[in-house]
Amino acid sequence: MLHYSIDGAGLGKLLNTRQIKRMVASYVGENKEFARQYLSGELEVELVPQGTLAEKIRAGGAGIPAFYTHTGIGTLVETGGIPIKYAKDGDVEIFSEPHCTGVFNGKRYVMEQSISGDFALVKAWKADELGNLVFRASANNFNAPMATAGKVTIVEAEEIVPVGELKPGQIHIPGIHVHRIIKSEKNEKKIEKLTVRQDQASETSLPAAMQKRIRIIKRAAREFKDGMYANLGIGMPMLASNYIDPNITVYLQSENGVLGLGPFPTRSEVDPDLINAGKETVTVLQGGSFFSSDVSFGMIRGSRIDMSVLGGMEVSQTGDLANWIVPGKMVKGMGGAVDLVSASGTRVVVTMDHCSKDGSPKILKRCTLPLTGVECVNRIITDMCVFDVVPGKGLLLRELASGCSVDQVRATTGCEFTVASDVAETY
């Protein structure tokens, strides 16, 4: 795997010299040049849900030409229409194609074709002279499936050790998949988002916008239950972990291959091989574990995650969610969100501002932006209120934020809703 989300590093170097024609990716990250080239039509980008991408690579390495997944049903992933290449005038020259679908046990799935390459470029912590590989901490991520999916796999290893030094149970990828090993000349590891633990500032001294976010975050933290396995999205949802009741235990999972996320590190604890899906430095609690991205999304698709907390750009009255792209203007990629909301049995909680910066409602009769998932949201938590999505009926106003009235919520919500008989200010 190469860093395409850091300007001037990894694939960033090839972007700067215009040596990449098309990227298949799930998340653009913060690379401004990547986004600029895509939106200006200089670069073709095939955006794929992150779990689907991991499985496409794993399947390619296993000789499986295609597979079915529920991820993306009812969205542009299924129907086609995701912009792959823009023209210089801003129009779209190439859209993604519709997917074949199938029905299994009464449920619809899309068919995805696998990916394999002429070359796979992989970074390992240790390799022995037979090509057996060990990855360190969250650096396993896409490296493990990628190592199996190339006709020629080239490994850059921080350390090459004699045969026998790596114990059989330590090895993540057996040498049968590896063709060449190169020892790293230098092991500088760039950290995209250095995030460290800080003393909690007085909330009253924070800017009004941050106080509003904390109101949402604190309410979201009340959704956690003892023993729950939960996944927290990038941004505001991740901050909810700071307010988990200390009397309960919650196991936080990160899509890049971590179970048992702990708090942000102190400066002395920072480890560039230990990051979450948002590229932030993290720690891991006792009993935590690391694994590859394909295993991680197997947990998600297999409904092992009890609850997922995500951000939102728009939510409809029936629980449709849009949170990954504003066509022609903003593109981050869908990351793992499409996978997370497609898992049956996983409770989906959306945290978001009630209105956009211009005052327009973000909770609507129908979403106007491309969907992340269809009828997937169970609860919406905003700076004004809490809505439940009741299947077949629409939105039910459950709670009010301090100082907010039902009339104010009606005036700032773009659809009809019913009001619970016991609605009250609770946060």
- The answer, yes or no, to whether residue 198 has pLDDT greater than 80, is no
* Mean pLDDT for the chain overall: 93
> 140 phi and psi, to 5 degrees?
-65, -55
Q: pLDDT tens digit string along 129-138?
A: 999 999 999 9
Q: pLDDT tens digit string along 347-360?
A: 999 999 999 999 99
The pLDDT of residue 366 is 98
Catalytic choice (158, 255, 280, 399) = 255
The pLDDT of residue 1 is 36
> 400 phi and psi, to 5 degrees?
-120, 145
- The answer, yes or no, to whether residue 170 has pLDDT greater than 60, is yes
- pTM of the shown model: 0.93
Q: pLDDT tens digit string along 221-242?
A: 999 999 999 999 988 899 899 8
Q: How far apart are CA 366 and CA 322, in angstroms?
A: 10
pLDDT band at 203; cut points 50, 70, 90: low
Q: pLDDT tens digit string along 18-41?
A: 999 999 999 876 778 888 899 899
Q: Per residue, what are the HEC states of the chain?
A: CCCCCCCCCCHHHHHHCCCCCEEEECCCCCCHHHHHHHHCCCCEEEECCHHHHHHHHHHHHCCCCEEEECCCCCCHHHHCCCEEEECCCCCEEEECCCCCEEEECCEEEEEEECCCEEEEEEEEEEEECCCCEECCHHHHCCHHHHHHCEEEEEEEEEEEECCCCCCHHHCCECHHHCCEEEECCCCCCCCCECCCCCCCCCHHHCCHHHHHHHHHHHHHHCCCCCCCEEEECCCHHHHHHHHCCCCCCCEEEECCCEEEECCCCCHHHCCCCCECCCCEECCEEEEEEECCHHHHHHHHHCCCCCEEEEECCEEECCCCEECCEECCCEECCCCCHHHHHHCCCCEEEEECCCECCCCCECEECCCCCCCCECCCCCEEECCCEEEEEECCCEEEEEEECCCCCHHHHHHCCECCCEEEEEEEECC
Report the share of the chain in percent with pLDDT over 90. Answer: 81
Which of 167 and 197 is assigned the larger pLDDT? 167
363-364 and 314-316 beta bridge pairing: parallel
- The answer, yes or no, to whether residue 6 has pLDDT greater than 80, is no
117-128 and 150-161 beta bridge pairing: parallel
Active site residue 255: yes
The pLDDT of residue 111 is 98
Q: Residue range 257-280: average pLDDT?
A: 93
The pLDDT of residue 8 is 67
> 33 phi and psi, to 5 degrees?
-70, -40
Q: pLDDT tens digit string along 331-379?
A: 778 999 999 999 999 999 999 999 999 999 999 999 999 999 999 999 9
The pLDDT of residue 125 is 97
